[in-house]
Amino acid sequence: MQYKSISADGHVNEPPELWVKNLPAKFRDRGPRIIETVKTKGHAWIMEGQTRPSPMGFSSMYTRGSKRFDRASLIDSFKQIKERGVRYEDVFPGSYDAKERIKELIEDETDAEVIFNGVQTVWNGIKLCPDKELSLACYKVYNDWMVEFQETDPTRFICNATLPTTGLKDCMEELRRCVDMGLRTVQLEAYPSGDFANPTPEDDKFWAMCQEMDIPVNLHVQFFFPAGDLLSKPTADAVAEMKQKMKTTRGLDISAGHFNTVVQRLTSTGVFERFPKLKFIGSEVHAGWVPYFMEKWDESVRRNRSEWTQPLLPSEYVNRNVWFVYTVDEMGAENRYNIGVDKMMWGPDFPHSSSCWPMDYQVGREVLERSGATESEIERIMWKTCADIFKLPYDEPSRISKAA
């Protein structure tokens, strides 16, 4: 098997009837289901304990208008769905049908793909659900489906298990169950204990398990801890405040999400010191911010050495334990030597709106080529690191790339 591109970040949109059909009978009426919003006639997810439905957002769909060459058509389709909300008919069938997905991937010149869940939408409800038993059952239904999805073509799909936020024991048991079923990686929606804000010492049991089984841990931007505030005070005021905040920071905070905070907390509490082989991946976090982040962090540690309890510098842990997935990131590509050529992975975020489908591969290559990357660097970033981390067997390319 030879690859030319492996996406480290792709998404599903969960099938509308996934939970209605598959939850245990006692939960079936209480789990996630699709409703039509009154005003925009779009589709939204709702389940027990959720007062506000989660509409399918702009990001869940894609339209056949390449960003770069046909922005007008992109803007047109956004305008359409602004007036009438997004419906399942609008999203690509490959979002929920693995066989269709293969066709879409082939058109995008993507050989394989790491699959993540559908971002906020249904997950708001599952994470916020006050009934932990119901919440856990929802995670399990999704993960069973992920196994099925991956089995359609395990050389093409590396599906993430979404780990429950209902407690450390549930999290670890579900990790074990998913790995036994053949999943090769996991995505977190909270710290392993279920805490949405801070790491806890008991999380070590989970990290130890991941290290021992060599299971990479993914953290995807924007849907890690989004509900933290909602959990503590799900009032109308809090929601309005959050919306206001999002409005004023549009285009600013969205790129790095909370990943840098999580990395700082894990590093400073010694998780990477205790688990040197743990693989921690930030998906869709991009990379252009990394060089300054690391430069300043190291400098602050050198200057405040007495306050730093770890034997290594922050950058030494990050260089060893952390990977960054970007979609399109010109400054990241130009700064690759200060991030690490082998710490960056290409992930076009298909089928979400930041993807350039069906030109993701071409754009991905072009960004790297323009930055002067060599063929072996391009291979490294476009697929090889991803294949290594997720243990996809491949034949070494016969070209100059052996050195990489």
Size of the site for other proteins (CB under 8 A): 57
Asked if 272 and 321 count as a contact pair (C-beta separation under 8 A), the reply is yes
| 75 is an interface residue for other proteins by CB under 8 A | yes
| 308 is an interface residue for other proteins by CB under 8 A | yes
| 252 is an interface residue for other proteins by CB under 8 A | yes
What is d(CA 32, CA 46) in angstroms, rounded to the nearest whole number?
5
Sign of CA dihedral 99, 101, 106, 111: negative
Which residue, 152 or 260, is less far from other proteins as judged by CB?
260
The residues that bridge with 113 in the sheet, in sequence order, are 7, 157
Among 21, 41, 64, 68, binds other proteins (CB under 8 A): 68
Q: Which two tokens stand for residue 179?
A: 């790995």
Provide the H-helix boundaries in 192-335.
204-213, 228-232, 236-248, 259-268, 271-274, 290-303, 314-321, 330-334
CB of 57 to other proteins, least distance (A): 11
Q: Which two tokens stand for residue 206?
A: 């989970």
Among 305, 311, 398, 403, binds other proteins (CB under 8 A): 305
Which residue, 124 or 327, is less far from other proteins as judged by CB?
327
Among 250, 311, 395, 403, binds other proteins (CB under 8 A): 250
Provide the H-helix boundaries in 182-223.
204-213
Q: Which two tokens stand for residue 273?
A: 């010191």
User: Contact region for other proteins (CB under 8 A) — 4-12, 43-51, 156-164, 295-303?
Assistant: 295-303
| 51 is an interface residue for other proteins by CB under 8 A | no
Among 134, 215, 363, 386, binds other proteins (CB under 8 A): 363
Q: Return the half-sphere exposure (C-beta side, CA atoms, 13 A cut-off) of residue 378.
A: 21
Which residue, 303 or 399, is less far from other proteins as judged by CB?
303
Would strands 43-46 and 54-55 be described as parallel, antiparallel, or unpaired?
Answer: antiparallel
∠ CA(164), CA(121), CA(165), 5° rounding?
15
Which residue, 107 or 253, is less far from other proteins as judged by CB?
253
The CB-based long-range contact list for 313-317 (8 Å cut-off, 24+ gap) reads 314/264, 314/267, 317/267, 317/272, 317/273
| 64 is an interface residue for other proteins by CB under 8 A | no
CB of 380 to other proteins, least distance (A): 20
User: Contact region for other proteins (CB under 8 A) — 29-37, 39-47, 67-75, 204-212?
Assistant: 67-75
Asked if 296 and 230 count as a contact pair (C-beta separation under 8 A), the reply is no
Which residue, 160 or 269, is less far from other proteins as judged by CB?
269
Strands (E), 98-220: 112-116, 157-162, 185-187, 217-220
Among 152, 211, 319, 354, binds other proteins (CB under 8 A): 354
| 248 is an interface residue for other proteins by CB under 8 A | yes
| 403 is an interface residue for other proteins by CB under 8 A | no
Among 6, 188, 210, 256, binds other proteins (CB under 8 A): 256
Residues that bind other proteins (CB under 8 A): 58, 67-68, 71, 74-75, 78-79, 82, 248-256, 260, 263-264, 268, 286, 288-289, 291-297, 299-301, 303-308, 314, 328-332, 334-335, 338, 353-354, 356, 363, 366-367, 370
